[in-house]
Structure 1
Amino acid sequence: MKTIYIVRHAKSSWTYEGIDDADRPLKKRGINDAHLMSKILMDKIDRPDVFVSSSANRALHTGVIFAKKFKYPMANLKISNSLYSFSDGYLVKTIKALDNGFDSAIIFSHNHGINDFVNAYGNKFIDNVPTCGIVGIQFDTKHWKSIKRGKTLLADFPKEFK
């Protein structure tokens, strides 16, 4: 069995002028939501074997908050430039390339790729994964590269816990 947890980055700020999209920071609400949702997830699951984040500031900051909550070593947090894409193609490639020694993984990425992925690979339709939303999917396989439609284990969104 392989289990993936997909986290859409927390709410980011659009107020800074002259910075690249990849450098946009989290808003205070996003930071608060990341702390809330990491605690919610930690109470439900064992620590994932590997943490992988998009290189974009907002996704990476979300990933760091989750890693700290789960006491995951920061030196082991993997950063992927290819996850800074709004296509599920790079998300799928990243997941299928995971080391088979990892039975569980948590990925911090972006929409639209997340929505496309959770609906193509999970068995529960999700109209929209909001910022800092988490979707967990379990696959009946021993190899990440062999994932096909799995079972949606959870779909937790910040508004449900406020």
Structure 2
Amino acid sequence: MKTLYLLRHAKSSWSFDELSDQERPLNDRGRTDAPRMGQALCKREIELDLLVSSPAVRALSTAVLVAREIGYPHEKIVVERNIYEASVEDILSIIHQLPDSAQSVMLVGHNPTFTDVVNTLGSAGTTPLLEMPTAAVACLRFECERWEEVSRENAEFYFYDFPKDGK
């Protein structure tokens, strides 16, 4: 069985006009929500074999903050440039090329693509997500041995979570 976590980056700042989209940092809420989601994942006792992030500052910062909470070494985070501005097909290609030695993988990236990937892979009968809010995570499990076999047909939508005010 393979387990995939798709984590949308936490809330980013639009306060710096001089920065490119890729350079935008997290804002105060993002710096609060990312660890909060890491703590929620820690309560679920998840253990990652691999954490892969978009190179965008907001995504990589989210990955580091979540990794810290779940005990994943931040120096082992893999930066995958193709997650940034990826299409659904690009993300599926990245998933299909993941190392089979990794049973549990988290990708950290962007919307609307991550919502679309969840809806594309989500098991039949699952209510489609309208939009993953910032710092939301969706977990899918796949009844297969190799990542290249991941598909809607062998998928199980396991859980979905996002930061809630006051939690």
TM-score, normalisation: structure 2: 0.93
Change (3 A) 1:68 1:32: same
Residue segments in structure 2 that go unaligned for 5+ positions in a row: none
Q: Given the alignment, which residue of 129, 133, 137 partners 1:130?
A: 133
Q: Tell me the equivalent position of 1:7.
A: 7
CA distance, structure 1, for counterparts of residue 89 and residue 57 of structure 2? 21
Q: Tell me the equivalent position of 1:140.
A: 143
Q: Tell me the equivalent position of 1:157.
A: 162
How far the C-alpha of 1:160 sits from its partner, in A, is 6.9
Query: Aligned to 1:85, what secondary structure does the other structure show?
Result: coil
Deviations 1:99-126 (A, max 9, x none): 0000110110000110110001012211
What's the % identity of the aligned pairs? Answer: 34
User: 8 Å contact 2:33–2:135 — kept in the other structure?
Assistant: yes
Query: Aligned to 1:158, what secondary structure does the other structure show?
Result: coil
Change (3 A) 1:88 1:161: farther
User: 8 Å contact 1:87–1:112 — kept in the other structure?
Assistant: no
User: 8 Å contact 2:12–2:24 — kept in the other structure?
Assistant: yes
Q: Tell me the equivalent position of 1:46.
A: 46
CA distance, structure 2, for counterparts of residue 103 and residue 94 of structure 1? 15
How far the C-alpha of 1:45 sits from its partner, in A, is 3.2
Compute the RMSD of aligned alpha carbons: 1.2
Q: Tell me the equivalent position of 1:108.
A: 108
Query: Aligned to 1:7, what secondary structure does the other structure show?
Result: strand
Deviations 1:46-82 (A, max 9, x none): 2111000000000000000111112212221100110
Deviations 1:92-149 (A, max 9, x none): 1111110000011011000011011000101221111110000000001101011111
User: 8 Å contact 1:86–1:112 — kept in the other structure?
Assistant: no
CA distance, structure 1, for counterparts of residue 104 and residue 46 of structure 2? 9
How far the C-alpha of 1:86 sits from its partner, in A, is 4.3
What amino acid maps onto 2:10 in structure 1?
A
Q: Tell me the equivalent position of 2:62.
A: 62
CA distance, structure 2, for counterparts of residue 81 and residue 155 of structure 1? 25
4+ runs of 1 displaced by more than 3 Å?
none
What amino acid maps onto 2:164 in structure 1?
K
What amino acid maps onto 2:159 in structure 1?
L
Residue segments in structure 1 that go unaligned for 5+ positions in a row: none
Deviations 1:16-67 (A, max 9, x none): 1111100000001001000111100111132111000000000000000111
